[in-house]
Structure 1
Amino acid sequence: MARPDDAVKCWCNRCRSDTYHHIAASHETVVSGTDPRGRDASRRLIYYVVECLGCKDIHFLKIDISPEDLIWCSNSEHPFDSPYVQENYPPRNIARRVPEWIDLIDVSLASMLRESYMALSIGAVRLAAMGGRAALEYIAIEKCEDMGSFKKNVNELVNAGFLAKNLESTILSALDVGSAAIHRGYTPGLESINDVFSIVENIVESVYLLPESGERLSFTTPKRPEKRKS
């Protein structure tokens, strides 16, 4: 695909690939300085607000251009084409896609999950495991009450009808990964941490999203006409 006018190519977390972006805003500054040998070590910093031309997701970029790159970049139409150091915010996430429903759930829970995905994106799997555990505990306490232990909290979710009984041991397994990361120095592998977040996402959908979906369907589906009495 040819580059559209005024577009740059960079990573998009939602599309999970390098895509063309529109530059919505930019700011450039030069940080002056010298290295220990007295040589010029000034850096050119460029900040961008960009919008993906595919999914329309908006994110932020910082491009850090070293003195060696300044001459190279002066001959380039876009600093994106240079051997820059690029920082993305939110960070580049190639480990797991943030769910589309993240903005539809409880604000505190959404913030907790975003931080967990951010940790996962930079390889901080122990922090991510702790975040997954915290999210599951938050759901149990927010929907029921704090019963004093993880097992009792999960059991209360089951008793309140939010979860099926056969999911209880599954949730406790995910909680234990976070506990092991905190108390036993455990570093889960990528497959294990993805299993944890598959469980977390499934629970979020079951507790917060599916009931609302059911209500919408019930409201929009025509009712079966009553049978006429003969």
Structure 2
Amino acid sequence: MSEQIKKIYCNNCSCETKHSVLFYKKKREVDEVDNQVIWYEDDSYYLSECLGCENITLHIESTYSGMGDEITVTQFPPKIIRKEPKWLYRIDGDGIFFGDSDKIEIFREIYIALKNNMPRLAIMGVRALLEMVMIENIRDQGSFVKNLSKLKEDGYISNYQFEAINKVIEAGHASMHRNYKASSEEISSIMDITENIIESIYINKLNITKLNIPPRVKKDN
């Protein structure tokens, strides 16, 4: 039997790639009454290896009675729509950047929510994280709006970032109170803004302190 090749989403490559099917099995579950099938479910299991990065994925295609040719796809590990930034390990590895482990845990939980297709929880987590970051750096000014204004006033964020955070916060309010569910594109924008803020306040500040620039030498007249 020749090698079976199938296109499957690869979390490591962050796109659909060609996979070699290592193992395949099809299963059917049925409900019968008087030897008549009244309901069925067909599941096709593909244990596969990406031909690019060699990542392993379990891909499941399911069809159900009454749904025609519609195929429901599930995979393990779940499809990652947003990866953790590579610089997160620097925060996780040394608590001085984030102050305490609670913010690190919330940051990671945001990506877990995204991995499990829970955009509302992810956005609520972003709002909570940003509030904790603001209070840590400028102390609580009594309201979210005052905290954000103080963060800009003290030079932690630019005017552009100030406006961007306002949009993120509004998305958080809408998720909690107005049944708002962000699209994949909106989630990507919200996470771009959030990661940019965290990187600006913690990582870039650390990078600046590590610059070893030699002092200017006065020239003799």
Determine if the TM-score, normalized by the shorter chain, exceeds 0.5: yes
CA deviations on 1:74-106 (whole Å, 9 max, x unpaired) are xxxxxxxxxx9653244324xx54354264344
Partner Cα distance (1:90, 1:142) in 2: 35
Residue in structure 2 matched with residue 170 of structure 1 by the alignment:
164
CA 1:20–1:214 in structure 2 vs 1: closer, same or farther (change >3 Å)? farther
Residue in structure 2 matched with residue 18 of structure 1 by the alignment:
16
Partner Cα distance (1:162, 1:139) in 2: 11
- The CA deviation at 1:44 is 7.4
CA 1:42–1:6 in structure 2 vs 1: closer, same or farther (change >3 Å)? closer
CA 1:59–1:223 in structure 2 vs 1: closer, same or farther (change >3 Å)? farther
- The CA deviation at 1:177 is 1.5
SS at match of 1:151: helix
Q: Which runs of 5+ in 1 are unaligned?
A: 67-83
Residue in structure 2 matched with residue 117 of structure 1 by the alignment:
114
Match of 1:199 among 193, 197, 217: 193
SS at match of 1:61: strand
Residue in structure 1 matched with residue 100 of structure 2 by the alignment:
none
Residue in structure 2 matched with residue 79 of structure 1 by the alignment:
none
Say whether residues 1:223 and 2:221 are aligned partners. no
Amino acid corresponding to residue 14 of structure 2 in structure 1: R
CA deviations on 1:7-36 (whole Å, 9 max, x unpaired) are 87521134332224589x98x999896523
Match of 1:137 among 131, 135, 143: 131
Say whether residues 1:155 and 2:146 are aligned partners. no
CA deviations on 1:111-145 (whole Å, 9 max, x unpaired) are 133034336xx4x5444432332332233244454
Amino acid corresponding to residue 139 of structure 1 in structure 2: V
Amino acid corresponding to residue 217 of structure 2 in structure 1: E
More helix by share: 1
Which is worse superposed, 14-23 or 41-50?
41-50
Amino acid corresponding to residue 15 of structure 1 in structure 2: C
Partner Cα distance (1:189, 1:30) in 2: 33
Contact 1:59 1:89 in 2 (8 A): no
Q: Which runs of 5+ in 2 are unaligned?
A: 64-70, 93-103
Instruction: Tell me how large the CA RMSD over aligned residues is.
Output: 4.4
CA 1:109–1:139 in structure 2 vs 1: closer, same or farther (change >3 Å)? farther
Equivalent pairs counted in the alignment come to: 200
Partner Cα distance (2:190, 2:109) in 1: 15
CA 1:188–1:114 in structure 2 vs 1: closer, same or farther (change >3 Å)? closer
CA deviations on 1:163-193 (whole Å, 9 max, x unpaired) are 2355334312320121022113334555544
More strand by share: 2
Percent identical across equivalent pairs? Answer: 27
Partner Cα distance (1:103, 1:59) in 2: 24
- The CA deviation at 1:149 is 2.7
SS at match of 1:101: coil
TM-score (norm 2): 0.61
- The CA deviation at 1:203 is 0.9
Residue in structure 2 matched with residue 80 of structure 1 by the alignment:
none
